[in-house]
Amino acid sequence: MTSLNPVFTIGMQVMEVIQAHERVSKEDAHRRAVEILTEVGIPDAAQRMKQYPHHFSGGQRQRVMIAIALVLNPSPPHRREPTTALDVTIPGTDPRADARDEVTPAPARRSCSSRTTSPSSPRRAIASR
């Protein structure tokens, strides 16, 4: 993931987001970063905080980016696609299954309408396809 800066440790990058969005001490930010990395499935998160992005596999880097996003406590998105390529780093667990379990059911399909202003509108031709 090119979103992670190779010059800074994973811990520094996660803590930076925590401290930028929450008024917490460095120690509290460190504790929260370890919690969130553990939550997304990074094994031995306290030790991994001291490592640089190149020490992580691609799937683990994705997990770090997910952890950074989760720091902001977003509403649950539809997470099926972004988790399909994650590494299974802990034997016997599948993070993709966990994410699928957390996905809320999609709302009933809604109809979509567009307003056409002229009979020969290009939008009408595209919409009829």
Is 81 inside a domain boundary? Answer: yes
Residue 97 forms part of a structural domain: yes
Average pLDDT for 84-98 = 56
Q: What is the pLDDT of residue 65?
A: 93
Pick from 60, 69, 62, 82: which is nearest to 17 by CA?
A: 69
Tally of domains within the chain = 1
Q: What is the mean pLDDT of residues 48-73?
A: 93
Domain ranges, residue 78: 10-102
**Within a domain: 20:** yes
Concatenating the DSSP letter of every residue in 64-117 gives HHHHHHHTT-PPP---TTTTTT----STT--HHHHHHHHPPPPPPP-------S
Say if CB 49 and CB 10 are below 8 A apart: yes
- Predicted TM-score (pTM) of this structure: 0.59
Confirm whether 118 is domain-assigned. Answer: no
Query: Range with the lowest mean pLDDT among 67-81, 83-97, 102-116?
Result: 102-116
